[in-house]
Chains A and B, each alone.
Chain A
């Protein structure tokens, strides 16, 4: 029996996604979203042709943070579970990649998938006890996880793998010869490592973003949202709460973990101090300011958390006569933006866009 036969018995309007009926300036909303996606994709492809060096490195970092924030959004925004400890999964991904490269001599590009698997398992396992903790208590448990992580990474017992306090220095991810030769034949110049790092990151990020897009718009995604909105009725509808919630934790950890892998590859170095609670705060800031229940929001969030320290530096340098400790400025701005978002636009930047779209749209 195909789905059309089943749907043939219900009135047409029940079959339609209400979103399909919204028209913005003469263009249906779903079409607009799709066009938006392709414009973004085109931008991602064009960027390395225009920029090089530190600029393109920064764009890669934005995509990396976008993935990390996306992981948190999938968990908190779409499934309603809180985590203040995603820096821990970020660390698991980064260290998995680093140890595979450093100890097993694996090439950097082969480590992404195994690292993703490790993070999924780690997240799934942490999700199991998390099932019994709701809301606030889960926040507390993950808060404890984030605080304990840096100390755990420094532990002498595993220092032969993790490099202890010193961390691990990794090989530079050079582009494969065949890609280099293709680029050479087209542009006539060698592909720089910075550009290649970006291209590799972008490749992984686009695939994972598409995966998240499909997940959220699928039956599974609707189940996750149902659990967030009303766990009891979700259960009544036959959704296996335990399975979905711990899997959501696993998938979320996987996204943030892959971001960690990319972080290790891009920076060619990692140490426990990169995985403190401050990092978890960063993800939360990105998620909340971008819009926690939105995929597009993660892109904005990734840009936001990377750009704020730069803006803070700019402010500090212009006020250099009055400010002695500019490092403090970033956290202050993060905090102010968090409170501002909670007060003024609880759905984040994505919610703001949604409201604007609603204002200028007409119903078909």
Chain B
């Protein structure tokens, strides 16, 4: 029973990361109807930037300064990617978009190794690694959950209560009508990309102290992020967050009690395919009806 509680709580902690990534995936999906396959690599690259800002070999800034600076830089980077790379091909077929996402994936992955080399790096955590509840959860993992929940609250408030959040929702839901009432749709898209990149950066900085910082650290994590987004429903940000937490717990349960740690990624694969086949709208998603 102790093991069960321990695994559930630690699942909640990793679930927090998946929730962040799932949220980033859903934000992009809502805005442009595409999955960002490069989301994980963008997050990884942001984390390298944070590492550079903090490390003694780099700028040696304190953690929270680097944290905020990294979020701002990621925001600018994400918006720039939308404006420079995706805006010119917004009308291109699906395949072109997928190819460009894969291109970004490949470029960020290599660029990280190219600039910062491939050896795993330690990433600091402001929360420390001391046990929070003995044998169950460490202080860093509690910090992870707390930061995620604060982030979600902020994003919810942003979309719900600010005029610009409303404009972004309008641009995503119905670009043409939004344009008619004076919303700058292209600008909103760039903003959405920036936000998603920032959320991804937070996820990267939270998980790096656990996995170590390497160019490939986000590959498996992104898959769980996708699984979380699919389980929760691709049209629902709240669903994505719940889905992320559920996937985190499920991963730990399956890993500990059913299939062993070696098939964890296969669990994500099966989960994605089964949910897409059985209930494509996910838990909280809206059923999309297409006119033929």
Which residues of A are at the interface with B, using a C-beta cutoff of 8 A? 76, 82, 84, 129, 132-133, 135-137, 139-141, 143-145, 147-148, 151-152, 154-156, 232, 277-278, 281, 284-285, 288, 292, 323-325, 327-332, 334-336, 338-339, 341-343, 346
Contact = CB atoms under 8 A, between A and B. Distances in A.
Given A84-B37, A329-B110, A148 B103 contact: no
23 contacts: A82-B98, A129-B277, A136-B98, A140-B230, A140-B276, A141-B269, A143-B37, A147-B219, A147-B220, A147-B269, A151-B262, A152-B265, A281-B102, A325-B114, A325-B117, A327-B110, A328-B110, A332-B111, A335-B103, A335-B110, A338-B102, A342-B96, A342-B99
Contact of B272 (A140, A156, A336): A140
* Residues of B contacting A: mostly: helix
Nearest to B40: A147
A124 to B, nearest CB: 16
Contacts of A129: 273, 277
Interface of B: 33-35, 37, 85, 88-89, 92, 94-96, 98-100, 102-107, 109-115, 117-118, 219-220, 223, 226-227, 230, 260, 262-266, 268-269, 272-273, 276-277, 280, 292
Contact of A338 (B99, B219, B272): B99
A140 B107 contact: no
Contacts of A140: 35, 226, 230, 272, 276
A155 B261 CA distance: 9
A292 B96 CA distance: 11
Contacts of A338: 99-100, 102-103, 106
Given A140-B226, A151-B265, A232-B292, A82 B95 contact: yes
Given A133-B276, A147-B265, A285-B106, 19 more contacts: A76-B95, A84-B102, A132-B276, A133-B277, A137-B276, A137-B280, A141-B269, A145-B269, A148-B269, A151-B266, A292-B95, A324-B117, A325-B118, A327-B110, A328-B112, A328-B113, A331-B107, A332-B110, A341-B99
A110 B269 CA distance: 33
Nearest to B292: A232
Contacts of B262: 151, 154-156
B219 A277 contact: yes
B53 to A, nearest CB: 20
